[in-house]
Amino acid sequence: MATVDAGHVAPDGPWLDRSDGPVHVRKLSVSEMDNNVYIVSCTATGRSLLIDVADRAPRLLEALEGTDPVAAVLTHGHWDHVRAWDGIAAAGLPIWGHEDDAPMFPGPLDRALSDGDVLVVGEVEVEVLHVPGHTPGSLLYLVQGTSRAHLFSGDTLFPGGPGNTFGSADAHRQIMDGLEDKVFGRLPDSTHVHPGHGDDTTLGAERPHLPEWRERGW
């Protein structure tokens, strides 16, 4: 079975840097909700994406130092993922996300992202996957390293299952259909999953549990 470094980081503690060929990933956790924030950068050019603007804008801007950021991209619009919006926007960084979550965002998007969009970050390409269910506009971001693919899953996929669908059977079916079609049905077991909270996992570690997730209905 594919294995993965859990990539544990403590809230407001030191960040973790890891590289995989052309892709560099910086992971840090902020605030009481233990929100993971990621900086994905091109090792050749230093161009980068900030994934989620969870909180502590000065900390996020500090973590971006040494890179040339293209934009901040959002996984979804829940409050704990967007509290640094104003500080990031004030620093001049465009904020991109899915318009279906627009009612939850603190301000207007600079760019609306759609399923299948490819974001050019230096010499690295980041694919946008729209997998609704946790929220209507939940997005995942996929980038290919030398050794494996890297999936930034927000609150759509964690070790142990999909994100909360708040008792909605329809939303649970939606998130499971999306995960099975766009993620597990397409990507290999070695894919490294970087979630919106907590430690990392792989698709191989989670794949055997798909039937039980579907059955439990939440």
Look at the alpha carbons of 64, 55, 171, 204 in this order and tell me if their dihedral is positive or negative: positive
User: 30 in a domain, yes or no?
Assistant: yes
User: 11 in a domain, yes or no?
Assistant: no
User: 5 in a domain, yes or no?
Assistant: no
User: 49 in a domain, yes or no?
Assistant: yes
Position 186 scores a pLDDT of: 98
Confidence at 1, pLDDT banded by 50, 70, 90:
very low
User: 202 in a domain, yes or no?
Assistant: yes
**pLDDT, tens digit, 9 for 90 and up, residues 175-211:** 999 999 999 999 999 999 999 999 999 999 999 999 9
What burial letters (b/e) apply to 33-64, b meaning 16+ CB within 10 Å? bbbbbbbbbbeeeebbbbbbbbbbbebbbebb
How many other C-beta atoms lie within 10 A of the C-beta of residue 164? 16
Domain at 48, CATH number: 3.60.15.10
Position 2 scores a pLDDT of: 46
User: 4 in a domain, yes or no?
Assistant: no
% pLDDT > 70, the chain: 98
For residues 126 and 118, the answer to whether their CB atoms sit within 8 Å is yes
User: 7 in a domain, yes or no?
Assistant: no
Cα 151 to Cα 172: distance, rounded to the nearest angstrom: 20
**pLDDT, tens digit, 9 for 90 and up, residues 63-97:** 999 999 999 999 999 999 999 999 999 999 999 99
Q: How many structural domains are present in the chain?
A: 1
Average pLDDT over residues 14-32: 98
Task: Tell me which residue range forms the domain holding 118.
Answer: 16-216
Task: Give the DSSP per-residue string, 36-54.
Answer: EEEEEEETTT-EEEEE---
Q: The tokens 């973590």 sit on which residue? A: 63
Q: The tokens 């619009």 sit on which residue? A: 77
Cα 44 to Cα 98: distance, rounded to the nearest angstrom: 29
User: 3 in a domain, yes or no?
Assistant: no
Cα 186 to Cα 183: distance, rounded to the nearest angstrom: 5
